[in-house]
Amino acid sequence: MLSWYLPSFRARRTVATGVVTALVCAVVSVLFLMYTGNQAADAAQSRVTEAWNRVVPLVRQGPLPPTLRKGRVEGIEVVDTRGRVVAATPELAGRPPIADFRAPRTSVSAARVLCSPPGLAGCMTVVSYKIYQPQGAWLLYVAVPVVPWYGQTTAVLIALGVSLLVTALMAAWVFRDLTKALDPVNAIRAELAEITVTDLDRRVPVHTDYAEIKALAETVNDTLDRLESAYTRLRRFTADASHDLRTPITAMRTQLEEALLHQCDTDWPEMTRAVLAGVDRLQGVAADLLTLARLDAHAPLQRAPTDLSELVEAELGRRTYQKKIVKGLPGPVCIDCDRMRITRVLVNLLDNAERHANSQIVVSVRAEGPTAIMEVADDGEGIAAEYRELVFDRFTRLDAARSRDAGGTGLGLAIAREIAAAHEGTLTIEDSERGARFVLRLPICEAAPHRQPDRTIV
């Protein structure tokens, strides 16, 4: 469960939603209060007009009673030309005029806000009207309470209450929805936190309520699948590597200890040759491990257009093989490659074929559309279909091969496939009438190849 604090996504989204909702509610409330204020002002003006319509006929028709009915206004006064109050509502009876202003010549009425006019409490909006009489213009003063811009206090309370309620509801809804949406994420996080090296088979729960969360859980599980597979391969690789390293070390130690115990009976030249053979095996394993480490680190390739047929011809002519080599190199086939690494692939395939061939090895190069193909086939016992991918695993040697392949490191074919993949190519074992047929496929280049000097394979 995520804690409620501002840096959390859920808290930030909830606060942001509350702030935005509050701003929207504030704008709507202001518009609402302005509307209610205008309505209240119109109502006050209507009350003033009503008082004017009621009093003016009394003034003109006479006789004007000294006490006027208040109606829906706070006070009414009628002032004659000499400034005397001739009629007023009861609360203004016997008091001086509540105002001393009159409308300008071009207007019939004028209005002002007066605070605490005589006989009235609080601020009032006083409207002055001209009433034309034969002896001159009389003045009619009508007082109503000042109407604020927001109308009534009730409207403010309603707007404030509705705004708080809407803001709280929106924030609560967003908080609840985010909590529901983040629950699967929390479950994934909790499960990942408990997965250790000893239980890599565990997987996070997959929730189907949200497509994005479902995709996240499936991606995490796929990643865990790859991690478990990689860790399994690493453990097997480590076990095999330690075995392949311990075996020659143990043999050399045994030979040296025995030679020291029986120094007079030891054939020192023979023992030295045996120890050197073990050293050569250790050196081979170390070199292959270093090569794999460079390939795993995606070390850059030194590519150049190269004639694959010429490369194969040069390598076959460099060394002598115990088995007969049959070549099929019809013409130039250009590939864009690191010549040293592709030569390493060919050497590994030839070494593997020579260890398992009965009498001959067939090496061929050809082009098929946009693909260059190199095949190395032997006439040995071959490899069953179910083991054709297994032989490319690191430190993997089939039982049948172990008795015959005492000098192999178990890394040659793995290195060859990694080099092929680094060149956007493939290395596979395909069907053949007899023996094993390794097929390397690489993209053909359009540039003309050029011959390069041979380099030592390390």
Q: Is residue 183 part of a domain?
A: no
User: How many helices and strands, by DSSP H and E, does the chain display?
Assistant: 8, 12
181 within domain boundaries: no
Average confidence (pLDDT) over 167-189: 88
> Are 122 and 34 in the same domain?
yes
Same domain, 344 and 435: yes
C-beta neighbour count of 153 within 10 angstroms: 9
Are the beta carbons of 307 and 332 closer than 8 angstroms?
Answer: yes
Which residue has 């007082």 as its token pair?
143
Residues 43 and 144 in one domain: yes
Domain boundary among 268, 298, 328: 298
Q: Are residues 202 and 138 in the same domain?
A: no
Average pLDDT, integer, range 299-326: 89
- 278 is a domain residue: yes
Better-predicted residue by pLDDT, 162 or 178: 162
Average pLDDT, the chain: 85
Q: pLDDT: is 199 or 413 the higher one?
A: 413
Give the pLDDT of residue 143.
94
The answer to whether position 15 is within a domain reads: yes
Type of residue numbered 108: V
**H or E segment and range at residue 408:** none
Examine residue 286 and state whether it is found in any structural domain, yes or no: yes
Check if the beta carbon of residue 155 is closer than 8 Å to that of residue 36.
yes
For residue 26, what is the domain's CATH number?
A: 3.30.450.20
> Are residues 278 and 317 located together in one domain of the fold?
no
The amino acid sitting at 299 is A
The answer to whether residues 75 and 89 belong to one domain is: yes
Is 279 in the same domain as 324? no
Q: Is 440 in a helix, a strand, or coil?
A: strand
- Examine the pLDDT at 367 and tell me if it is beyond 80: yes
Same domain, 423 and 323: yes
What is the pLDDT at residue 25?
94
Burial class of residue 270 (count of CB atoms within 10 Å of its CB; 0-12, 13-18, 19+): exposed
pLDDT at 398: 61
Q: What is the pLDDT of residue 214?
A: 84
pTM check: above 0.85: no
Identify whether residues 346 and 283 lie together within a single domain.
no
**With the C-alpha atoms ordered 175, 178, 183, 189, is the resulting torsion angle positive or negative?**
negative
pLDDT digits (tens, 9 = 90+) for 61-85: 878 888 999 889 999 999 998 889 9
> Higher-confidence residue: 287 or 317?
317
pLDDT at 450: 52
Domain end: 92, 123, 153, which one? Answer: 153
CB distance 126 to 112 below 8 Å: yes
CATH code of residue 349: 3.30.565.10
How does residue 438 score in pLDDT terms, banded at 50, 70 and 90?
very high
**Structural domain contains residue 116:** yes
pLDDT number for residue 46: 94
Q: Using 50, 70 and 90 to split pLDDT, how confident is the model at 89?
A: very high
DSSP-assigned letter for residue 255: H
pLDDT value at 300 more than 90: no
Please state, in angstroms and rounded to a whole number, the distance separating the CA atoms of residues 75 and 89: 6
Strand partners, 336: 305
Amino acid 397: pLDDT: 61
How does residue 454 score in pLDDT terms, banded at 50, 70 and 90?
very low
pLDDT digits (tens, 9 = 90+) for 215-267: 888 888 888 888 888 787 777 767 766 766 777 788 788 888 888 888 888 88
Interhelix angle 308-318/339-356, nearest 10 degrees = 50
132 and 242 within one domain: no
Among candidates 289, 333, 324, which has minimal Cα distance to 425? 333
CATH code assigned at 265? 1.10.287.130
Which of 199-203, 225-229, 349-353 ranks highest by mean pLDDT? 349-353
Q: Tell me the residue type at 101.
A: F
Q: Percent of the chain, pLDDT > 70?
A: 91
pLDDT at 448: 57
**Could you tell me the pLDDT band of residue 424, with boundaries at 50, 70 and 90?**
very high
Q: Is residue 130 part of a domain?
A: yes
298 φ/ψ angles, rounded to the nearest 5 degrees = 55, 50
Q: How confident is the model at residue 213 (pLDDT cuts 50, 70, 90)?
A: confident
The whole-angstrom separation of Cα 15 and Cα 20 is 9
The tens digit of pLDDT for each residue in 309-319 reads 999 999 998 88
In the listed set 279, 298, 317, which residue is the last one of a domain according to the structure?
298
Q: How far apart are CA 22 and CA 442, in angstroms?
A: 65
Q: Is 352 a residue whose pLDDT tops 60?
A: yes
148 pLDDT higher than 50: yes
Tell me the range of 155-169, 248-262, 314-328 where mean pLDDT is highest: 155-169
**Count of structural domains, the chain:** 3
Same domain for 122 and 219?
Answer: no
What local confidence, expressed as pLDDT, does residue 158 receive? 93
Nearest-angstrom CA–CA distance, 424 and 442:
7
Residues contacting 290, CB < 8 A, separation 6+ = none
The answer to which of 103-117, 146-160, 175-189 has the lowest mean pLDDT is 175-189
Domain range spanning residue 58?
Answer: 10-153
For the cut 70, the answer to whether the pLDDT of residue 409 exceeds it is no
pLDDT at 449 over 60: no
The answer to whether residue 372 scores a pLDDT higher than 60 is yes
Q: How far apart are CA 161 and CA 141, in angstroms?
A: 39
Question: Do residues 129 and 108 make contact, with C-beta atoms less than 8 angstroms apart?
Answer: yes
Q: Which of 314, 331, 295 is nearest to 420 (CA)?
A: 295
377-399 tens-digit pLDDT: 999 988 888 888 888 887 766 65
Tell me, yes or no, whether 452 lies in a domain: no
439 and 306 within one domain: yes
